[in-house]
Amino acid sequence: MISQIFILSTKGDHLIYKDYNIIMKPFRGEESKDSINGFYEMVTALSGDQPPVVMVNSGFLGELMSGLHFIHARQGGLYWVASTKTNPSPFTIIEFLNRLAALTKDYCGSLSEKSVRMNFALIYELLDEMVDFGYIQTTSTDILKNFIQTEAVSSKPFSLFDLSNVGLFGAETQQSKVAPSVAASRPIMSSRGEQGGKNEIFVDVIERLSVVIGSKGVLMKADIQGEIRIKCFLPTCSEMRIGLNEELSIGKSQLKGYSSAVRVDECRFHQAVKLDEFDTFRILKVCPSQGEQTVMQYQLCDELPCAPPFQLFPSVEKDYVNRSVNLSMVLIFLKLRCDLPPKSTALNVSITVPVPKGSTSMSQELSSPDQTAELQPKNKALLWEIPRFPGGAQLSALFKVDVPGLSSASLLEVGPVSMSFELPKQTCTGLQIRFLRLSPTQTGLSQRWVRYVTHSDSYTIRI
């Protein structure tokens, strides 16, 4: 059972504070601050990586908040915090906090300190309907829209930032077929607002790829987590049919024919999805609620239908600048090949190579000026960044890392290499959306957008 909900800015300011069962003394304004400041102190004192369940100890905060447990999630640069005195399910609470953040985004248009501040009355209203006495009631926009009275105050997004943001909802703005980047970040309810009237629906297929490639280039582990997400701005709820690849097969047991069937191991669906046509025609039927929702999640383990997008050919050597004073360095030569089809491009590719302890400086030879590389002694790593990497291309780089007093054993400290990148218009499973139909067919008003993207979740190449 949830006792309190807070939304905190990165600086620890209280943006939203809601107390569901009055825990302590009458002047709750004050003690809420005590407890939440205690939480904030703990969260900031610990370095970045913190398990989500934090218990604040009464030791330094007094008996006011003895036994209060905080559970938090970070979204949109804000802390979404729930506190509890009982033994609830942290899963429930984290799910809920994430859902709350998503709803806030749906209702306010975007998720930022500013939008939360401007819409506090709306968020309080939402919270009142979503949680009663600590019991979560609903998080569905379909139900909520019956109750919510407050209009969202929409903040104008900062345009420069959005232009450079080559993300999900704004990949490659130049192309006419792609929706403008701001289109998806607006409140769902502001139909009477200035941006209103546009009946749009966005369907995104997002895949996260995690791969481990062994030292001899062998694929050791690969899996893909995928999801189909809908962001819906249609005011009336009409049924939508989403057609997936007809040859999509599900489960490990099914035999593969010679055709390059698209296969996933397992999938889960949103509870609103009707699956009566799924088994035969691979059609999902859903009445999308307003806002963002994940209609289908799927995963594929161990077998990739295509080659992994990057191959690395490394070589690591020890060299002496001056043998007599033991001034040594490590030569790292990396050859990186992109195995995507020639028309595709990988974006924001960055490669991290661990270097031996005590590395002091680095010089590099890169093949084009838009690439950058730097040594990060703090992380014991070097970082090589490539903004665009066309399919079929091969890039190479040579790094000379000065390491005084290098022993042969420290060469073992080089590796494994990790990469992160983004593959727009690509799905690694090959899952495609054949069609998107709204029934009853709406007159030209509604615009439908389908986008694909693959992110690297964890891409490791061992040396």
Site for another protein in 368-407 (CB under 8 A): 379-381, 407
Q: If you search the block for the tokens 């990148």, which residue do you land on? A: 421
DSSP 376-434: EGGGTEEEEEEEEEETT-EEEEEEEEEEET--GGGGGGS--EEEEEEEET--SS---EE
**Nearby residues of 436 by Cβ (< 8 Å), 6 or more positions away:** 201, 203, 240, 241, 242, 243, 448, 450
Burial track 145-169 (b if 16+ CB lie within 10 A, e otherwise) = beebeebbbbbebeeeebeebeebb
Calpha distance 4→85 (Å, rounded): 10
Contact status: 44 vs another protein (CB under 8 A): no
Residue 171, token pair as written in the block: 């990949």
**Please, which of residues 97-136 interact with another protein by CB under 8 A?**
98, 117-118, 120-121, 124-125, 128, 132-133, 135-136
From candidates 2, 5, 8, 73, binder to another protein by CB under 8 A: 73
The correct pick among 9, 44, 195, 299 for binding another protein (CB under 8 A) is: 299
Q: 446 is written with which tokens?
A: 């509604």
Residue of the chain from 10, 53, 256, 313 that contacts another protein (CB under 8 A): 53
- Confirm or reject binding of residue 10 to another protein (CB under 8 A): no
CB of 380: closest distance to another protein in angstroms? 5
CA separation for the pair 40, 201 (Å, rounded): 38
Minimum Å distance from CB 316 to another protein? 13
CB closer to another protein out of 254 and 407: 407
Nearest in space to 344 (alpha carbons), one of 306, 388, 384: 388
Tell me the site size for another protein, rule CB under 8 A: 97
Name the segment binding another protein (CB under 8 A); options: 30-38, 282-290, 339-347, 439-447.
30-38
| Distance of alpha carbon 373 from alpha carbon 381, whole angstroms | 11
Q: Taking each helix axis as running N to C, give the angle between helix 120-130 and helix 90-108, from 0 to 180 degrees, rounded to the nearest 10.
A: 140
- What is the Cα–Cα distance from 108 to 16, expressed in whole angstroms? 14
Q: What does the alpha-carbon distance between residue 441 and residue 199 come to, in Å, rounded to a whole number?
A: 13
Q: Which is nearer to another protein, 122 or 184 (CB)?
A: 122
Question: CA-CA distance, 269 to 292, in Å (whole number)?
Answer: 14
Pick between residue 165 and residue 420 the one whose CB is nearest to another protein: 420
Cα separation, 462 vs 316, whole angstroms: 12
Q: Is the peptide bond before 354 cis (omega within 30 degrees of 0)?
A: no
Rounded to whole angstroms, the Cα distance separating 102 from 125 reads 15
440 with 234: CB under 8 angstroms? no
Site string for another protein, 191-230 (x = CB under 8 A): -----------------x-x-x--------x---x-----
Smallest separation (angstroms) from another protein to the CB of 392? 27
Tell which one of 294, 350, 364, 371 touches another protein (CB under 8 A).
Answer: 294
Pick from 101, 415, 422, 431 the residue near another protein by CB under 8 A: 415
Whose Cβ is closer to another protein: residue 65's or residue 183's? 65
Q: How far is the CB of 23 from another protein (least distance, A)?
A: 10
Q: Select from 10, 33, 256, 321 the one that contacts another protein (CB under 8 A).
A: 33
CB of 427 to another protein, least distance (A): 16
Query: Min. distance of Cβ 304 from another protein in angstroms?
Result: 14
Site string for another protein, 308-347 (x = CB under 8 A): ----------------------------------------
Task: Fill in the per-residue mask, 418 to 447: x = in contact with another protein (CB under 8 A), - = not in contact.
Answer: x-x---------------------------
Q: Which stretch binds another protein (CB under 8 A): 311-319, 326-334, 396-404, 409-417?
A: 409-417
Give residues 249-288 in contact with another protein (rule: CB under 8 A).
266, 268-271
